[in-house]
A = this chain, B = another copy of it.
Amino acid sequence: VSAAEQAAQHLDIAVIPGDGIGPEVITEARKVLDVAAEASGATVDYTEYPLGVQHWLATGETLSEETLQQLRGHDAILFGAVGADPQDTRVPSGLIERELLLKLRFSLDHCVNLRPARTYPAVQTPLLADAPIDFVVVREGTEGPYVGNGGSIRKGTSQEIATEVSLNTAYGVQRVVEDAFVRAQGRSKKLTLVHKHNVLVHAGDLWRRAVEQAAPSYPDVTWDYMHVDAATIHMVTHPGRFDVIVTDNLFGDILTDLAGAVTGGIGLAASGSINATGDAPSMFEPVHGSAPDIAGQGIADPTAAILSAALMLDHLGLSTAAEQIEQAVHVQLSQWAAEGSATLSTAQRGDAYVQQLRRVVA
């Protein structure tokens, strides 16, 4: 147990279960988290924040300043999923996503959106060439086309014009690029910058110069560049070539869903929205959404939420506990591959991971 782990004896976690399958998968993530923390001699306090569609319908609030201040006081945030059923006409499309999820990422300065993508030998991928995949996408989290800068004139007329402005700063890009180089050093030492600088000249050029300028400080890391369109091809034809991908907010959004798909399903994809300075809590959430179509049935796969909790533990210095969760998931997935797991409920999956984790930590 490292010094960091000694220090992190008590974890004060904010939980935002959210909508749809969010609360279902978070329940399981907490079960697993409790066991892992305890085994590392840590205690966990949870404070639940009932934000999301229901809260908005009841109060008209998505995320008040007061709640945001409270959230700032926690060590980290465990986030389920938000978003209304598209059939639910009471909720303006994307409102909760923007005014809660994206507002959190922006307000808490989650500059790095970290999204690991890996295969498990026991999990079938949709690809014929089932070579191991193990890379991490470092997605910028606070700028690009996500800044909400745009508008329209003559709306609803045949003369309507709508704009969307992507904002990119040296400050925002450089810190993400540095983070990606550091991660590459701790992995297979290969960084790929993904952008579309042949078309998005100004932003693309800023990204490229940021990588070129950082590279000499990481002489052991080799780097290359790939257009985003070409990157989707490689992700299908030889995803094993990637180690660390660094990219902008929108390209990262697209590529990580694709990465989830090629590694065996978005039900396994975890993520962390990292505040790099520690001035505000980082947030950990499955990449999948609220999945209103299967919500309430108790059939959602909690694996991505559980792996997100492991990312959180690692971020908080409890790397042994994080590894133990990953190992338990690994072993349990292999067991299910042998036994079949199609009919298991969300809770049964969570319980199985807990049991497996107990064996790992014993």
Contact = CB atoms under 8 A, between A and B. Distances in A.
Contacts of A230: 257
Contact of A148 (B201, B232, B237): B201
Interface residues of A, number: 69
Interface SS of A by simple majority? mixed
Interface string A152-185: 1010111111111111111100100000000000
A321 interface: no
A250 interface: yes
Nearest to A172: B161
A313 to B, nearest CB: 27
Contacts of A253: 196, 199, 229
A94 B202 CA distance: 12
A18 to B, nearest CB: 15
A167 B167 CA distance: 15
Copy tally for this chain in the complex stands at: 2
A309 interface: no
A96 to B, nearest CB: 9
A198 interface: yes
Interface in A301-351: none
Interface of A: 83, 86, 93-94, 97-98, 102, 124-129, 145-146, 148, 150-152, 154, 156-171, 174, 196-206, 209, 225, 228-230, 232-233, 236-237, 250, 253-258, 260-262, 265-266
Contacts of A209: 156
A4 to B, nearest CB: 31
A262 B250 contact: no
Contact of A232 (B129, B163, B174, B254): B254
